[in-house]
A and B are shown apart, each in its own frame.
Chain A
Amino acid sequence: MESTIVSAENINAYYGDNHAIKNVNIKINRNEVVAMMGPSGCGKTTFLRCINRMHELIPNARAEGVMKLDGEDVYKMNVIYVRYKIGMVFQRPNPFPNMSIYENVIAGYLLNGLKISKADKDLIVERSLTSAALWNEVKDSLHKKGTFLSGGQQQRLCIARAIAMQPEVILFDEPTSALDPISTSSVENLFHELKANYTLIIVTHNMQQAARVSDRTAFFYLGELVEFDDTKVMFTNPKDQRTQNYITGRFS
């Protein structure tokens, strides 16, 4: 059951001359929740973006090395196919403001011009919203604009949008940093349920969050992957001095 789904081999990333990620090797298993933590500017978001090639949007950014999804090299695949397979949820909730909740969920299909029947659409919307624990709250207002929802609901709508494409991996870029504690806990509870069907990679500043939600934790520091281990081991008995320092709050 423990099969590798994402594997990074000697990944180096640069912003112009700035060496942002230094030789990262990591293997992430299917259906596990991996948290990536580290101080600001340590390259964890950059690494996350390297997984689904979102780093290509930033001018001057480039990545070297081999990133494999299910044994296939991501950097040699069609970028559109990569992003079908690897969904992403961002720091700030970003539903499309010109679309209703219903359209937002199936935005991946609508925007790509994929033809699906009305029944299939309804099914996908209901299933995705149920998985994102939002169905009960919005089932009566599916055709309202998505931007009328609260911040936490919007973020779950964005998760539903990612789920609707039925990806294998979902990347979360600090998904709760713009949310209040109640919304945060509802999103965190969601991670446990999503684990059954998807592999989740979560970037977070918040150590408690990493400890709460993840099976394994990766610690990044100054562009290096310092330690990658079971979350329990990481927080109780870290092997590296730098991890120890970060967890005990000696530097941020």
Chain B
Amino acid sequence: MEIANQQKQSLPHTQLNMSGGREQDVLLKALLALVFGPIGLLFGSLSGGFIMIILEIIIAILTFTFGTLTTTFYGLALVQLVCTIWAIYATLNKYKTVEQRIKYRNTESILYKTSIVFLSFIVAVPLIIILLYIIRQGVTQVNWHFLTNVPKPVGETGGGILNALVGTLIIVAISAIIAIPVGMMAGIYLSENPKTRLAYWAGLCVDILQGVPSIVVGIVVYFWVVKPLGTFSAVSGSIALAIMMLPIVIRSTEETLKLLPPSLKEAALSLGVPYHRVIIKIIVPCGFAGILSGIVLSIARVVGETAPLLFTAFGNPYLSASIVKPMESLPHLIYTYATSPYDDWHDLAWGASFLLLVFVLVLNISTKLITKRWKVQL
């Protein structure tokens, strides 16, 4: 009881004792916002200023694109008005006593929570739209004939995408065989020696590699592999995809292993275990769930890449299992069929898109299930 009383008494002391300059302050902030808009609002409310700057830009672009100059003017005037009200509100708020502020605390927090939930739902909307559209267009195409036949020549109906299915599997498998060992070892090195100069430059290169456009990777591999060999080949496509996989595998391995407590390594070393065995038997198994999901993520990333394959694996209307010959792949098939003028080829492209989607989904879900077994409780 006494404590409650004390708290009640102590509350008014925490209020800012500046009520003398209150009217002046409100007027000043309101004027600033009225004249300079969002920039003036920055003085009254920092976060409000930034929000209104973004809003102003969006309104300006929208009205400029879809409306006339008059709509732009009205839009910006509206922003100016909102800024002024916001500035007055924020400045008044500053002079409120603690009780007055607490009164609306619950409402505010509910408001924030709702907006966060709403915004996270918005993230899922494009995904759901894409999924539904592809399923609607593609699912009718998929049948046994579609899966087990190569495309028919132009003019004949029917035909399937067996060549692309086999090609994608071969190309992605080879690129995984190239990228996983290299990427994991580089990731282990980066997490084990984070302070060395080599690690600094390697990390930088990984970041840059991640930003290289996929078409550029394709062109580079074209000059490295395709030109010297004199022919488009599946293996050159695999090399291009492996280069794209590397940064994802490296970073995910590194980040996973960095999270492992150093005490694990100490425990193993204190048992007289040699360093390389500590890595192989303790560090990698304990981080395996994270490494595996990084690998799957990288496969899912490259399985739908068309650009690096345009100059390397090229495409092949016939079933081929030779890795030194051109090979068809799903994304390349989708690209060529979707840009063709024939309706039944468009249908094939939709079917292939659906298959690609299913492949990525199955890969992701199965990894989630498998890694559950590997997950370690630290």
Q: Which residues of A contact B (CB under 8 A)?
A: 52, 54, 57, 59, 79-84, 87-88, 90, 92, 94-98, 107-108, 110-113, 145, 147-148, 158, 161-162, 165
Contact = CB atoms under 8 A, between A and B. Distances in A.
Given A96-B282, A97-B286, A98-B286, A84 B272 contact: yes
B273 interface: yes
B264 A94 contact: yes
Chain A contact residues, majority secondary structure = helix
Contact of A81 (B261, B272, B278, B286): B272
Contacts of B376: 97-98, 145, 147
A164 B285 CA distance: 22
B4 interface: no
B10 interface: no
21 contacts: A54-B266, A59-B195, A80-B273, A82-B272, A83-B270, A83-B271, A94-B263, A94-B266, A96-B267, A96-B286, A107-B271, A108-B273, A111-B271, A111-B273, A112-B272, A112-B277, A145-B376, A147-B377, A158-B267, A162-B270, A165-B271
Contact of A165 (B263, B272, B286, B378): B272
Given A81-B272, A84-B272, A94 B267 contact: yes
A108 B264 contact: no
A92 B378 CA distance: 12
B270 A111 contact: no
A8 B284 CA distance: 37
B277 to A, nearest CB: 6
B271 A54 contact: no
Contact of A80 (B261, B274, B285, B377): B274
Contacts of A54: 266, 269-270
Contacts of B272: 79-84, 108, 112, 165
B268 interface: yes
A2 B270 CA distance: 27
Q: What's the dominant secondary structure at chain B's contact region? A: helix
Interface residues of B, number: 24
Contact of A108 (B271, B285, B288, B377): B271
Given A96-B286, A110-B281, A88 B377 contact: no
A90 B271 CA distance: 12
Contact of A111 (B281, B377, B378): B281
A154 to B, nearest CB: 11
Contacts of A52: 270
A82 B263 CA distance: 19
A133 to B, nearest CB: 20
A94 B261 contact: yes
B271 to A, nearest CB: 4
A81 B274 CA distance: 10
B89 to A, nearest CB: 51
